[in-house]
Amino acid sequence: MILKIDRLPIELPTPNNPSPNDAAAVQELLGGKFGEMSTLMNYTYQSFNFRGRNKLRPFYDLISSIAGEEYGHIEVVSYTINLLLTGTTQRGLDPSGTPMAAAVGARNTRHFIASGQGALPMDSHGDFWTGANVFNSGNLKLDLLHNFFLELGARGNKMRVYSMVEDPTAREMLGYLLVRGGVHALAYAKALEAYTGVEVTKLLPIPDMKNDAYPEAQKFMKNGLHRKLYTFSQDDYRQAGIIWNGVHPDDNQPLELIHGAMEGSPAPDLEPEPQLNAPGGEDFDPQMFSDIAKKMGIKYVY
């Protein structure tokens, strides 16, 4: 089970210049072959289908912990896309004035036609994510090798999108994910090393540009976020620390296993887009909820 927390891993700034085409590029990091949908579902199914769990518990705990974090990565990429799309069309209820005329020039019109101007599980071309991207051979060594490859492919895509999109919202998200993706790549490298004796960590970083080249990543590294693996559970997955130990190859500082999740930040409250009927419900009476909440002894703010 997943304990869902109503926070994002990091605080996202408001975009300087909302751009549907920037949002389309970022979509690759959500629903592309090496996107966060793929990392989440690969590790999730590998944890579901893990055989010999008691004998190989440290590997199971490691995969499960990373799977838990990937859910938050989907959230933070999705909110980045949503923020980049906010303000790209004219808000209004009169369709005859073509309030969405600007969407015609967007590279991915599905954000406006098939969605309420929000993220979708698709890549940068608008092709929807598919379960065919999930690899779960059942062989632990092969799955770990695939996961290492998957994290490196994801890193390469993030580096390229960073070079394409200069908005601070996207770059803040990318800086964070470059650091956290590096944690996951190192974790799988260490798992392969523990399993086989092969010094996979010597291959890192792949691609060869370190996170120091990205200013947004540097602040996360200064806080030691490149050395911390979170279990996303207070009580379970503790044996991941049998693999996640020693020092980080970049700075020789000790690795840490954190029981639970990072504190995170509140998610942005996205403004309604009436021209898209999003969220709709103009006839909704919030006073009704306010009265019910008062009887329940909770606060309802609208």
Tokens of 134: 């999930």
Q: What is the pTM of this model?
A: 0.95
Q: Which residue has the tokens 């590096």?
A: 182
Q: Which of 21-25, 109-113, 258-262, 296-300 has the lowest mean pLDDT?
A: 296-300
Tell whether the model's pLDDT for residue 301 goes beyond 80: no
How much is the pLDDT for 286?
Answer: 84
Tell whether the model's pLDDT for residue 227 goes beyond 90: yes
Tokens of 66: 């990373």
How much is the pLDDT for 299?
Answer: 83
Query: What's the whole-number mean pLDDT along residues 114-121?
Result: 96
Q: Which residue has the tokens 């260490």?
A: 190
Instruction: Report d(CA 65, CA 10) in Å as an integer.
Output: 18
On the 0-12 / 13-18 / 19+ scale of CB atoms within 10 A, 194 is middle
The model's pLDDT over 151-168, given as tens digits with 9 standing for 90+, comes to 999 999 999 999 999 999
Q: Which residue has the tokens 């891993």?
A: 9
Per 3-state DSSP, the chain is made up of helix, strand and coil in percentages (nearest 5) of 50, 5, 45
How much is the pLDDT for 26?
Answer: 98
Band of residue 208 on the pLDDT scale cut at 50, 70, 90 = confident
Mean residue pLDDT of the chain comes to: 95
Query: What's the whole-number mean pLDDT along residues 229-235?
Result: 96
Tell whether the model's pLDDT for residue 72 goes beyond 90: yes
Query: What's the whole-number mean pLDDT along residues 244-262?
Result: 96
How much is the pLDDT for 155?
Answer: 98
The SS3 of residue 254 is strand
Instruction: Report d(CA 215, CA 261) in Å as an integer.
Output: 24
Tell whether the model's pLDDT for residue 282 goes beyond 80: no
Query: Among candidates 263, 189, 180, which has minimal Cα distance to 229?
Result: 180
